[in-house]
Chains A and B, each alone.
Chain A
Amino acid sequence: MAYSDKVIDHYSNPRNVGTLDKSKKEVGTGLVGAPECGDVMRLQIEVDPETQVIKDARFKTFGCGSAIASSSLATEWLKGKTVEEAMTIDNMDIVEELALPPVKIHCSVLAEDAIRSAINDYRVKNGLDPIPDTHKPH
């Protein structure tokens, strides 16, 4: 399959690979997917508690080039956004940016799930209710 240049770029030069300290209150960790499906994404955010701005974001992904690119792109987009702004990231934005073919759309959906999961983990750790997933049926 021919990958878009952007997918190849993210794969060869991934942004923000790494691990944040999940015991810290300011860190939210999202772990989504399953080994049997061939896709596991771990996305972490570090939030400035005063401004609610995401100061840092890291990812590690077990998955194909499109999955790696989707999560790498997600960390790029998350940095500098507030938590509220981050909730508006839609998987189709990722599809468009990376020119993902139909068979790879599920990778972008997983990245969106990872973002929400990280945000909810941060919220729960800080005494807030998680935001329910009313977004769209899977």
Chain B
Amino acid sequence: MLLIQDTSNHQMLKLPIYLDNNATTRMDERVLEAMLPYFTEYFGNAASRNHPYGWKAEEAVDYAREQIAQLIGCSEKEIIFTSGATESNNLAIKGVAEMYASKGNHIITLTTEHKAVLDACKHLEKQGIEVTYLSVKEDGMVDIEAFRNAFTPKTILVSIMFGNNEIGVVQPIEELSKITHEKGALFHTDATQAVGKIPVNVDTHGIDLLSFTGHKMYGPKGIGALYVRRKNPRVKVTAQMDGGGHERGMRSGTLNVPGIVGFGKACEICRLEMASESVRLAALRDKLEAELSTMEESYINGNKEHRLPHVSNMSFKYVEGEGLIMGVKDIAVSSGSACTSASLEPSYVLKSLGLSDDLAHSSLRFGLSRYTTEEEVDFAIQCVRKAVNQLRDMSPLWEMFKDGVDLDAVEWAHH
């Protein structure tokens, strides 16, 4: 990490500039400050009934529950603490499948869900549960009619994420949950990327179960929650973590008190600052996209209207994603390119949009944050422009394209 002077307006920029906030966020100082006393001073176990150390810890947890509940419009009794959104997703999906086994055995979800949802569903399929993985349209939105037609008399659960982690697309949750309830099933949403960035309300949006986590909203890693509805209807999940019956018997294990305190504070800050922050972030994101779109053969992936304010996913044709990431080493972003994942398969989310392999390979995901400045966005624009142009000068595909060759008609010498 180093400091450089941005010559255009003499701002000091710390490199690389972090623009991968969908992966994780930097913790807010106010969150850290709130957490610190709970490590060495108020370090009690929140389940210790018999002494002030326990009572103090329990008090802090209850307060955090309130802060968190206020952000999503629920009761503090409806918050179950977990180790993160992955665990919350597992608890919701497996927990509902087990609890409601007598009611049915069919789940509906989307091909663009996070692996925590998809892999939990795959696990259940091995146990005889049936899962429908609905495709999305080219812009990443659900096809409402296809969704409606996917229900069977045995459908017990729908799991559709509120805001997508790769392309930022926000689904019409209200409409989807309404249909789900008409069909007698429960509606779960992985709202990890959306909570704290846009208004999420469990009643307005008709949500029965909701997963989210601290480290995507300027809080600590290792702490998340599952909202489980208690009224209209009363929902229950079979615990996936046994041992002591904590969290109303739905998730055993000593509570991560400092983490919870931090999570609570993070939620409170988001609730108070979300409105102005989302406007600022959307403007920065729009500037980034507008400038980068002036380059030939650049594409914005995902619906441009219904999406999170801080996310942008763009493809730059005829350059490869990992090569591009190397070229933009002064900004920290992620790519939908195969080379950057462990397998050689390109991003399944981008493929679900119907993107060709080469466009999926040449994509960059930008995630802006509370701490992103306009100077940083300007720097990022220059950085990306330079790298794309440099790589295109080296690219045989770009040369062929400029020469008017129809690349789809070429017979490639495969391995």
Contacts and interface: CB of A to CB of B under 8 A. Distances in A.
A35 B396 contact: no
Contacts of A110: 415
Interface stretch (B18-26, B240-248, B315-323): B315-323
Contacts of A113: 413, 415
A34 interface: yes
A61 B396 contact: yes
A82 to B, nearest CB: 24
A101 to B, nearest CB: 12
A62 B327 CA distance: 13
Interface centre among A8, A32, A68 (most CB of B within 10 A): A68
A125 interface: no
B34 to A, nearest CB: 36
B326 interface: yes
Contact of B346 (A38, A61, A65): A38
Contacts of B327: 11
Contacts of A64: 320-323, 326, 337, 339
Interface centre among A62, A64, A109 (most CB of B within 10 A): A62
B396 A60 contact: yes
Given A33-B412, A42-B396, A63 B407 contact: no
A5 interface: no
Contact of A40 (B321, B342, B356, B412): B412
Nearest to B337: A38
Contacts of A61: 394-396
Size class of the B contact interface (CB-based, 8 Å): 20 to 34
B174 interface: no
Contacts of B31: none
Given A33-B413, A38-B357, A11 B326 contact: yes
B396 A62 contact: yes
Nearest to A64: B322
Contacts of B398: 62
Contacts of B59: none
Contacts of B337: 38, 64
Interface string A108-134: 011001000100000000000000000
Contacts of B394: 14, 17, 60-61, 68
A138 B415 contact: yes
**Pairs A-B, 10 closest by C-beta atoms:** A64-B322, A34-B412, A36-B357, A35-B358, A42-B396, A60-B396, A65-B326, A38-B361, A64-B339, A62-B395
Given A31-B396, A62-B397, A64-B326, 19 more contacts: A11-B323, A33-B412, A33-B414, A35-B358, A36-B358, A38-B337, A38-B344, A38-B346, A38-B357, A38-B358, A42-B396, A60-B396, A62-B318, A62-B323, A64-B322, A64-B323, A103-B342, A113-B413, A138-B415
Interface of B: 318-323, 326-327, 337-339, 342, 344, 346, 356-358, 361, 393-399, 407, 412-415
